[in-house]
Amino acid sequence: MERIVTSPQMKRLDQFTIQEMGMPSLVLMERAALAVTEELKKNFDTGRVLVVCGSGNNGGDGIAVARLLHLDNIQAEIFMAGKMESFTEETKTQWKIAEKYGVPVVKKPVFTEYTTIVDAVFGVGLSRKVEGRYEELLKKMEMSGVPVLAVDVPSGIDGSRGQVMGTAVHARQTVTFACAKAGLLLYPGAEYAGRVTVKDVGICTKPYPASHKGMFRITEEDYRWLPPRNPRGNKGTFGKVLVAAGSEDMCGAAYFAAKACLLAGAGMVRIFTEEHNRAVLQQLLPEALLTTYRKDEQPEALKKLLRQALDWADVAAAGPGLGTGTAADTLVSVLLTENKKPLVLDADGLNAVSRRRELLKQAAGPCILTPHMGEMARLTGLPVSVLKADPVGQLETFCGEYPVTCILKDARTVTKTADGTVFINTRGNSGMATAGSGDVLCGIAAGFLAAGTETQRAAPLAVDFHARAGDLAAKGKGEASVLASDILDAIPGVWRLLTAGAARKTAAGDFGGVP
């Protein structure tokens, strides 16, 4: 896993490194400046560079960058946007050093005269709306059209939530230190950050061990969480999934979810669906078993059928195309309150729960919810705009009330597990915003559970795996043309890539392998 931090967490890591580990702050600043300079020379036109600095330590980083460029015979100038009387001790020291080395300082820069601008105004320290002369400054930088490299966090972006604090600078690249900041990965901050490069500058992350319930990104190594496939196994060995999906003439969602289960590694799938879907599903997916019910089935008879199907299964998934009628309410109620096996609840299953939220507190077994923003708005009663403004915070509040793992789907999908860990997904593309894509994710999660993966690991892995499949599909067809069936078709390709990557790392002796 790759750790992600908020701005306050990053400040605590800085202070721990300086105060407890004894690393001088100026050493960290120098290493940060070296890291920025390296990326600047690699990726930007350094014909003439303007370094715009604030009064805090982000500005100190910038001053050091200007000095390093100057000593490398690159035309670099400092524009001090902050007030000198507000300098931190480190920034004051950097300013004095820059003066002695003769680094040029400009008081009224014409931004369009530069080939590159280094933004070192605020960094992670911004805590309020940008106003006054700083607002005017950031707007001038934006309007110049000159490529920007941001130091740590683009000025004007909340480093924890990714929100624009009034106005902000769009960077082509952001060089950040020690850990990725959540605000660089969440939209709209991700759009302003450009390409994010995380650099190790010596900041100690010891206060946050791997077991700490913080924020992370899934990496290829985390696929070790999936149990290895037993070479002597049979179809029962790899898990049986019951997919309750598809109301009358709504069989497509059931097909996507069920096929995704099988492609994700489940040994057997049984689709629990309305009778009208039988013939089509038998043709589309002959590998699946079927249990059907009539649309006018009496509730007690429907419950009996479902209980029998659940006895067969190891894992249940419910909701895709299920409809919003009485049958859906009945099925979801039984699956939550009577079923002790892992459950993935999606789409119309979530809509049923939004009408009876108390069912979540009565959940008999581990449960993964997979709402998109609209479904989450119905579950919480909050406007989508509020959810988008702070998805991590809203998920923490929701999961604090209900004992579930929740995958909040959006351009940046955020997963909060029942054990308190948050995962931010940065893979995927706009082509995945297509009908049926969420059904595929539901099926992948259920397939991973069927293999024996723990709920709190199956959820973020499924999100990452689904996004990898979406990226493969877009690579072949272009984002605008991706269909849910293309994401399904890309799943075997993801397995091949992961297996090839595992083989390479196993040969290098540093990775246990992907099953």
Task: Give the tens place of pLDDT for each residue, 1-31.
Answer: 999 999 999 999 999 999 999 999 999 999 9
Three-state DSSP state, 84: helix
Report the distance separating Cα 378 and Cα 345, nearest Å. 14
240 HSE (CA, 13 A, CB side): 14
Cis peptide before 286 (omega within 30 of 0): no
How far is Cα 160 from Cα 6, in angstroms, rounded to an integer? 4
Question: Of 73, 81, 29, 25, nearest to 52 (Cα)?
Answer: 81
Q: How many CB atoms lie within 10 A of CB 133?
A: 9
Number of H helices, E strands in the chain: 19, 18
Residues of the chain with pLDDT under 70: 208-212, 503-515
Q: Can you give the pLDDT at residue 511?
A: 37
Residue 355 CA to residue 332 CA, distance in Å, equals 11
At 504 the pLDDT is 66
Residue with tokens 């930088």: 141
| Model-wide pTM > 0.85 | yes
In this prediction, residue 207 carries a pLDDT of 74
Are the beta carbons of 136 and 167 closer than 8 angstroms?
A: no
Q: How far apart are CA 256 and CA 248, in angstroms?
A: 16
CA distance linking residue 313 with residue 125, whole number of Å = 52
| C-alpha to C-alpha distance for 118 and 66, rounded to whole angstroms | 9
Please, are residues 45 and 115 in contact by the beta-carbon 8 Å criterion?
yes
Q: Which residues contact 496 (CB under 8 A, 6 or more apart)?
A: none
What the block records as the tokens of 456 is 């709190």
**DSSP-assigned letter for residue 512:** -
Q: Specify the pLDDT at position 500.
A: 87
What is the predicted pLDDT for the residue at 295? 86
Helix (H) or strand (E) holding 65: helix 57-71
Q: Which amino acid is at 284?
A: L
Angstrom distance (rounded) from CA 171 to CA 36: 13
Question: What is the model's pLDDT at position 212?
Answer: 62
Integer Cα distance of 247 and 375 in angstroms? 19
Where is 461: in which H helix or E strand?
Answer: helix 455-477
- Tokens representing residue 22 in the block: 């004894």
